[in-house]
Amino acid sequence: MNQRRAFSMSALPIRPLVWGCLTGLLTWATIQGIPWADVWRAMRHAHLGWLVFALLSVLLNNGAKVWRWRALLGEEGPRLGWGILATGHLVGQLVNTFVPGRVGEIGRLYLVNSEQRGRAFVLGTIVLEKTIDLIAFGLIFGLSLVLAPLPTQFAPPSIQAFVIALVLGLGLAGAVIAHEPLARFVVWLVKMVPVRGRQRIASRLLAMLDSLQALRESRHAWQILLATVIVWFTMVLNNYAVLRALYLPFGFDAALITMLVLLVGTSILTVPGRIGVFEYLAMVGLGFFGAETVQGVTFGVLLHAVVILPPTIGALLLLAWYEAGQQKRVHAS
């Protein structure tokens, strides 16, 4: 029994690595034979104005995510400050990009802690953020049946995603409205579980539930809604701007579908930096609109650079600023 448990625990970190290596090898094998000289030539002739616009869209996207997190934190957001929230967001995103398993959220919790309400409350805001994004994804995926010419095989999953998003949305709305009864139910449920530290478990669960408070306040709720719209619109806008920069004859519908393919694909197929996987998925997404292989790969390479370089540079700079601040506080004490 103990041996099996030890074996399974030691095998857990290896599985993402093995899966990532297999994914990378498959992607590498798929893109063999691509005329890379043509890819680099197309990138060198990209429209500078549209590239700058794409970079600004990426910055706006990340700024909206930080703004939304600040609103989700309610009164704690202004206390924590823009700098520490931006550091937590970008460093977490950096870790998620280069380390499989989405462990970047742990980095966010390490960097951002509410002294008054604790890390459980901050964790609740992160869970709420991911729930909101999941609802938005399902709604957009379902509406893409109308907004863009999806391939027929995409119709069933898009309808399922739309229904799941509606159910999640109604559940979240119910949790916000019935916050007090839900909190009492959590306390009762924890009391029924015969474990040590029940009081501590209950207090942490209640702290996580307190993250719903921001949605009950109209000022924060509108900020969260507006920021979410900006986040998802700029995700599509990033793709559209890169398409225009490369003079590719595809419109906003192609940008939308490619975004969906990239989101679904990169959540399943993970390698450090998503190198190769990202480009392959971009090629698949544009392939639905009749794009040639060179067009798809060029779009994927340039889009990957646009969306990954600014946040990575920002994360490293802010992390250096955070460490310098920590050193000053240590010396001051």
User: Is 77 or 30 the better-scoring residue by pLDDT?
Assistant: 77
Buried b (16+ CB within 10 A) or exposed e, 92-102: bbbbbbeebee
Mean pLDDT computed over every residue of the chain: 83
| Structure token digits, residue 181 | 């009864």
Instruction: Examine residue 6 and state whether it is found in any structural domain, yes or no.
Output: no
Instruction: Decide if 295 contacts 38 (C-beta within 8 A).
Output: no
The DSSP output letter for 152 is G
Instruction: Decide if 100 contacts 271 (C-beta within 8 A).
Output: yes
- Cα torsion 154, 142, 311, 329: sign: negative
* C-alpha to C-alpha distance for 15 and 27, rounded to whole angstroms: 18
Instruction: Decide if 262 contacts 278 (C-beta within 8 A).
Output: yes
Angle at 198 between CA 192 and CA 204, to 5 degrees: 115
When pLDDT is cut at 50, 70 and 90, the band that residue 239 belongs to is very high
Instruction: Decide if 132 contacts 125 (C-beta within 8 A).
Output: no
pLDDT at 103: 74
Instruction: Examine residue 64 and state whether it is found in any structural domain, yes or no.
Output: yes
* C-alpha to C-alpha distance for 143 and 162, rounded to whole angstroms: 8
Angle between helices 293-332 and 48-72 (to 10 degrees): 50
Nearest to 131 by CA among 187, 170, 185: 170
* C-alpha to C-alpha distance for 130 and 127, rounded to whole angstroms: 5
User: Residues for the chain: how many in total?
Assistant: 333
DSSP states along 120-132: HHHHHHHHHHHHH
Instruction: Examine residue 251 and state whether it is found in any structural domain, yes or no.
Output: yes
For the chain, what is the domain count?
Answer: 1
| Structure token digits, residue 300 | 């994927």
When pLDDT is cut at 50, 70 and 90, the band that residue 1 belongs to is very low
* C-alpha to C-alpha distance for 210 and 301, rounded to whole angstroms: 42
CA 9 vs. chain centroid, Å, equals 27
pLDDT at 208: 86
* C-alpha to C-alpha distance for 87 and 50, rounded to whole angstroms: 28
The DSSP output letter for 33 is T
CA distances from 239 to 14, 84, 262, 292 (A): 33, 29, 11, 17
Instruction: Examine residue 15 and state whether it is found in any structural domain, yes or no.
Output: no
In this prediction the pTM is 0.84
User: Is 100 or 50 the better-scoring residue by pLDDT?
Assistant: 50
pLDDT at 328: 74
pLDDT at 59: 96
Mean per-residue pLDDT for 100-112? 77
Query: What is the rounded radius of gyration, in angstroms, for the C-alpha atoms of the chain?
Result: 22
Instruction: Examine residue 179 and state whether it is found in any structural domain, yes or no.
Output: yes
Instruction: Examine residue 298 and state whether it is found in any structural domain, yes or no.
Output: yes
pLDDT at 236: 95
CA distances from 189 to 8, 20, 180, 220, 224 (A): 30, 39, 14, 30, 30
Lowest mean pLDDT among 169-178, 222-231, 268-277: 268-277
Which stretch, 114-118, 125-129, 142-146, 154-158, has highest mean pLDDT?
125-129
Judged by DSSP in three states, 268 sits in helix
pLDDT at 29: 56
* C-alpha to C-alpha distance for 195 and 193, rounded to whole angstroms: 6
CA 173 vs. chain centroid, Å, equals 22
CA 51 vs. chain centroid, Å, equals 22
Tokens 């967001």 correspond to 89
Q: Which domain holds residue 227?
A: 33-94+102-332
